Amino acid sequence: MHTVKILKLLLTYHLSIFVTTVTLYIAGAIALNYMDTGFQPFIIWFKILTLGIGGYFISSYKRKEFYYYQNLGMPKMFLWICKFSFDLTLFLALLFLMS
């Protein structure tokens, strides 16, 4: 599959779950705002936990939308790995910039 097509599909997928992702970012930012930098490991684990809960919610709520991506040759596991990797990398970069 072409790289541009893969990136377009990943962007479409990420935009379809944008509200959930932004909500998790806001929860992490609020936790970071109310806690000192000594709580960064707790905040990172909080983010990983909320990513898992959000992933379960998205997996059950948008179950039928995964057929669209599977028909285009994008396995569900690949979508999840890309989403979690991108979200966690962005969160850690923002966490590093804020401290």
How many angstroms from the chain centroid is the CA of residue 21? 6
Number of domains into which the chain is organized: 1
Contact 88, 48 (CB under 8 A): yes
* pTM tops 0.75: no
Quote the domain boundaries for residue 15.
3-98
- The CA distance from 51 to 66, in Å, is 18
pLDDT tens digits, residue range 44-74? 888 888 888 888 888 888 888 888 888 888 8
Percent above pLDDT 90 for the chain: 0
